[in-house]
Chain A
Amino acid sequence: MSVIDNLSAAWPLVANLESFLALFIGITVGVVAGAIPGMSATMAVALTLPFTFALQPITGILLLLGVYKGGIFGGSIPAILIKTPGTPASSATVLDGYPMAEKGQAGKALTMALYASCTADVMSNLALILFAGWLASFALSFGPPEFFTLILFSLTIIAGVSGKNLVLGLLSAALGLLLATVGLDLVYGTNRFNMNDPNLMGGLNFIAVLIGLFAIPEILAYIWNPQERKGSVRSLGGQHLSFKEYKRCFKSIVRGGFIGVILGSIPGIGAAPAAFLSYSEARRNSKNKENFGKGELEGVAASEAGNNGVCGATLIPLLALGVPGDVITAIIIGAFMIHGLQPGPMMFIANGDIIYALFLGLIISSILLMGVGSVAIRLFRYIADIPRPVLLPTVFVLCVYGVYAVNNNVFDIGVMFAMGALGYFMLRTGIPAAPFLIAFILGPLLEDNFRQAMLMSGGSGTILFRSPITWVFWTLTAITIATLVRKGMQRK
């Protein structure tokens, strides 16, 4: 089918009230969650996931994508108004956003953040539409050995989410890989770490692991130290953004959008580095470089364009190869699986209409983000005032209901609490949780493809080097590892 045919088939899936409502609610939830310090886009997507079970696959996934996009923008609101980034992606926005708020230009900074976000978002969506199909058609020729080497390379994305200590990140990933082996063996169907318990035969529930790792530790951290956030909310001020100012920053927005697209399409880099790179490039090329850090509008535009440019692009490896680009897309890949869809090249053939409906939905979401974002900017004072002693028990109850709803099983709630305890231990010891989740998702795929390749070759490892594609991935993996080791040596 051509692109036009696919778009025609996809249009009815997305041009209905249910899909628009899903996008609208998703963006609203995302913006609100992103704007609440202590919540995050990741937690918001994780908590929304159980609410998608009752929806059609396309509606549910649009809801999650709305939360993702809204969450990334929402993080910029507290970054500008209270100098506290709602998400790590908004860290660069603080640099010029808060000084602008101090000067009484918070409204102008927030409007610029919104316009830059939406502009970069459109660019990112267009990149997704242009490149995902092309990459997927290339990946159709992959067999188990090629997929094994691809997933092995993708595991190096753990380096990007490991924080300062790569070894702790790798240990976290090893734990994720280990927990992914719980259940029945893929080839022989024998027991692996399941203690003959029927609840564990199918492995650990993904949602229970996800929510346990990302939401419960935050609740426990608050119980450990139940203190309210300090600091006051700046007023929006009377100054509004003019078209001339938007035009002045347009070059930085486009540059930031491109940086976001490029970094977003590479698994593991994420939105925060894209925002900082976009910011530093804008400062390097700006006529007002001495104003950067003191409340320069172009700085806000560049950082927001950088982090939102990532959103659509992270879906390129997800949809084309079935490989998550970051933690949030790892959650979204889980959502696809729960709805009976397997992202990857075959999805473009089997469910092309759903893929193109997602593309259309993403474009619509950029327009909706503009409307929801404008309102959220004005209502932030009320969002920021939600007391944490009410918010965190609310999150707790949402977690319990959400996890139960997956399999109608109280056992899963127990798994979530156990994972929460592990997640809190990891939080206290500085072990990052993101590599755990990514390895937990990629682990079964890695093992499955490895064993399929071994079955094909009768146990000979040479099959893992059978084609130029495998060689490319082996080389990329080797280069990534060598770079990481070199960076580690330089740090010493």
Chain B
Amino acid sequence: MMQNSRISPLGLVFIGFGAFILLVAIPYAVTSPSNVQKIVLAPTFWPTIIGWIIIGLGAILMAMRFFVPADWSSNDADAGDGTPLPGGWLRLAAAGALMVALVYVTPILGLVWTAMLCFVALSLLVKSSRPVVSLIVAIALPLALYVFFHHAAGVAVPQGEFIRLP
């Protein structure tokens, strides 16, 4: 559950984000032709409206600290069951690194082998109590998906530079 004390900083984050959209992102990343006659037709019009909406909602979120009872809580933030195990941030950081690695390693190793390695890495990360089952699925699943997508669906699954599958 998220208490009011956490709602306010979130409001501030969104006000900052909205300001970033209006002051930095739109001027630098949205191209508007010089011959636009009506502002409502400009490519910048819609993002500008959304930027202001984000700022307005962020401000409302901050104002809630003063107008909503202290025991009020937001939507349930269900990030896991029971008391969390220690080392959560470390595991999350490792999962993040794994995801980044997957994107860069796939063109080199191919999707099948990368997926197998990722499965094993994830199983190690969550300390799988059934390592043999995990290993079997880690090998069989990417291969089965390769067969379906490559041979049945005609998807060009990346093969990588080392071992090529039929």
Contact = CB atoms under 8 A, between A and B. Distances in A.
Interface in A183-217: 185, 187-188, 190-195
Given A393-B119, A429-B77, A220 B64 contact: no
Contacts, number: 227
B19 interface: no
B88 A167 contact: no
Given A167-B57, A223-B91, A393-B122, A229 B81 contact: yes
A458 B81 CA distance: 56
Contact of A492 (B69, B80, B96, B123): B69
B111 A188 contact: no
A224 B29 contact: no
A53 B148 CA distance: 11
User: DSSP majority for the A interface?
Assistant: helix
A400 B126 contact: no
A54 interface: yes
Contacts of A193: 25, 29-30, 47
A361 to B, nearest CB: 21
Nearest to A411: B103
A394 B141 contact: yes
Nearest to A170: B57
Interface residues of A, number: 74
Interface stretch (A118-126, A285-293, A321-329, A401-409): A401-409
A401 B145 contact: yes
B14 A171 contact: yes
Contact of A190 (B21, B32, B75, B77): B32
Contacts of A336: none
B29 A389 contact: no
B80 A410 contact: no
Given A174-B54, A178-B47, A390-B134, A221 B79 contact: yes
Contact of B57 (A174, A221, A228, A420): A174
Contacts of B80: 221-222, 224-225, 227
B126 A223 contact: yes
Nearest to A53: B153
Contacts of B107: 410
Contacts of B10: 429
Contacts of B2: 429-430
A429 B84 CA distance: 16
Contact of B58 (A171, A225, A392): A171
Contacts of A164: 73-76
A450 to B, nearest CB: 8
B104 to A, nearest CB: 9
Given A181-B50, A454-B38, A190 B43 contact: yes
Q: Which of A53, A195, A429 has the most CB of B within 10 A?
A: A429
A474 interface: no
Contacts of B129: 228, 387, 389
Contacts of B43: 185, 187-188, 190, 192
Nearest to B43: A185
A181 B85 contact: no
A447 interface: yes
Contacts of A454: 38, 40-41
B118 interface: yes
A40 B102 CA distance: 26
B128 interface: yes
Interface in A426-445: 427-432
Q: Which 6 A-B pairs have the closest CB atoms?
A: A225-B80, A459-B38, A54-B153, A163-B75, A389-B128, A185-B43
Given A164-B74, A401-B157, A417-B100, 10 more contacts: A167-B61, A175-B54, A177-B53, A387-B128, A404-B157, A405-B153, A408-B156, A413-B103, A447-B46, A492-B69
Interface of A: 51, 53-54, 162-165, 167-168, 170-171, 174-175, 177-178, 181, 185, 187-188, 190-195, 219-230, 387-390, 392-394, 396-398, 400-401, 404-405, 408, 410, 413-414, 417, 420-421, 424, 427-432, 447, 450-451, 454-455, 458-459, 461, 492
